[in-house]
């Protein structure tokens, strides 16, 4: 075991729907050293009513605390079970699933395929469902399966621990008092310590397991979330000043290199402060943003990636109407409106609209 054990209570309830039953747990329970081929559920999107939201919240309001306390996450499957899943899916999924390694330095296997810039996309991190007519791109969790016949993006929590996953304490960033540092907006997620070359190498090998899972299941791309966990912006630092943008860039470069070695494209997630470095230095192929209109950042992404920007706006944080959002010059054509909880069409809170006429 590489580090001391971490224990938090975990409370679970069964089922989000009868059609696709699974367990939802609250809190984090970590013991020792196991595989990081885990789920990466994102039911609450970025924002929680406290500013920037998922990636760069500016404080902890009462609504934040309430929603965070009920955020559902998926129980970590054991390393043996996940190994079996990888073996099975490698035999029946994408042809890219053959002979995959977790070594981030593996040689390139194929040229990554970029998402189509026509049609629309859907953000299905809460639960997978049949995409609407005209959807050509879908983002789902790494524990899910790709949408049949549709370009599919695989969500991976690249810079913070996933709730329910097991990381050695040596790879968890600590506060000055020595306690594990958590993301204030997601208190069951710890920030990965990427402060040294050795730690970046070890952490990248663990994240590579999730990338390999995405590839074996037939996804075309990985979306690496929380690159901005180092962040100094909005009057507080999620890493409490322990990490820098340069360290995040170095770590992201390792993760993207491994994704490319598996024939997967890689999506930059938010983090507009990268400017051109995301594409020219790290090697991201396109960008996925949340609320780039709400925070006046859309142009910062389209200047770098052109038409290859996917944007999700949330119905509880719009600047004007969604029609006005779509009409703005800087808004990417493949912008969608979703409900904050990313629910399914069967739910009463479900929202899905697009800026493309005739699709939604």
Residue 178: predicted pLDDT: 85
Residue 59: predicted pLDDT: 26
Residue 339: predicted pLDDT: 96
CB 285 within 8 A of CB 111: no
Which CATH topology does 35-354 take?
A: TIM Barrel (3.20.20)
Three-state SS for the chain is CCCCCECCCCEEEECCCCCCCCEEEECCCECCCCCCCCCCCCCCCCCCCCECCCCCECCCCHHHHHHHHCCCECCCCCHHHHHHHHHHHHHHCCHHHCCCCCCCCCCCCCCCCCCCCCCEEEEECCCCCCCCCCEEEEEEECCCCCCCCCEEEEEEECCECCCCCCCCHHHECECCCCCECEECCEEEEEEECCCCHHHHHHHHHHHHHHHHHHHHHCCCEEEEECHHHHCCCCCCCCCCCCCCHHHHHHHHHHHHHHHHHCCCEEEEECCHHHCCHHHHHHCCCEEEEECCCCCCCHHHHHHHHCCCEEEEEECCCCCCCHHHHHHCCCCCCCEEEECCCCCCCCCCCCCEEECCCCCC
Tokens of 138: 């879908």
Predicted TM-score (pTM) of the model is: 0.71
Q: Within a 10 A sphere around the Cβ of 169, how many other Cβ atoms?
A: 18
In the block, residue with structure tokens 């209570």: 9
Residue 274: predicted pLDDT: 92
Residue 282: predicted pLDDT: 97
pLDDT (tens place) for every residue of the chain, 360 residues total: 333 333 332 222 222 222 222 222 322 223 333 333 333 333 333 333 223 334 332 222 222 223 333 333 332 333 333 333 333 333 333 334 333 334 444 444 567 889 999 999 999 998 999 999 899 999 999 989 999 999 999 999 999 988 888 899 999 888 888 888 787 777 788 899 999 999 999 999 999 999 999 999 999 999 999 998 887 544 456 777 778 899 999 999 999 999 999 999 999 999 999 999 999 999 999 999 999 999 999 999 999 999 999 999 999 999 999 999 999 999 999 999 999 999 999 999 999 999 987 555
């Amino acid at each position: 075991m590489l580090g001391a054990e971490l224990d938090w209570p975990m409370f679970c309830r069964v089922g989000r729907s009868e059609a696709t039953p699974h367990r939802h747990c609250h809190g984090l329970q970590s013991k020792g050293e196991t595989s990081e081929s885990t789920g990466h559920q994102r039911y609450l999107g970025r924002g929680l009513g406290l500013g920037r939201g998922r990636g760069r919240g500016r404080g902890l309001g009462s609504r934040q605390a309430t929603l965070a306390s009920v955020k559902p996450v998926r129980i970590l499957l054991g390393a043996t079970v996940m190994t079996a899943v990888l073996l099975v899916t490698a035999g029946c999924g994408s042809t890219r699933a053959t002979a995959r390694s977790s070594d981030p330095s593996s040689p390139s296997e194929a040229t990554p395929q970029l998402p189509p810039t026509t049609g629309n996309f859907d953000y299905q991190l809460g639960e997978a469902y049949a995409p609407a007519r005209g959807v050509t791109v879908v983002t789902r969790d790494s524990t899910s399966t790709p949408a049949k016949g549709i370009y599919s993006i695989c969500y991976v929590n690249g810079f913070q621990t996933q709730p329910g996953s097991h990381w050695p304490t040596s790879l968890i960033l600590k506060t000055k008092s020595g306690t594990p540092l958590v993301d204030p907006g997601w208190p069951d997620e710890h920030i990965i310590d990427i402060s040294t070359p050795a730690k970046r190498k070890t952490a990248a090998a663990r994240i590579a397991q999730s990338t390999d899972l995405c590839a074996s299941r037939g996804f075309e791309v990985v979306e690496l979330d929380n690159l901005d966990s180092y962040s100094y912006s909005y009057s507080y630092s999620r890493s409490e000043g322990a990490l820098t943008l340069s360290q995040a860039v170095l770590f992201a470069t390792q993760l993207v290199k491994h994704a490319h070695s598996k024939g997967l494209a890689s999506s930059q997630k938010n983090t507009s402060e990268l400017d051109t470095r995301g594409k020219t230095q790290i090697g991201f192929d396109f960008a996925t943003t949340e609320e780039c209109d709400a925070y006046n950042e859309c142009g910062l992404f389209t200047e770098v990636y052109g038409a290859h920007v996917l944007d999700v706006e949330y119905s509880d944080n719009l600047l004007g109407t969604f029609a006005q959002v779509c009409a703005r010059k800087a808004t990417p054509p493949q912008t969608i409106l979703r409900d904050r909880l990313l629910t399914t069409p069967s739910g009463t809170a479900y929202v899905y609209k697009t800026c493309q006429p005739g699709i939604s």
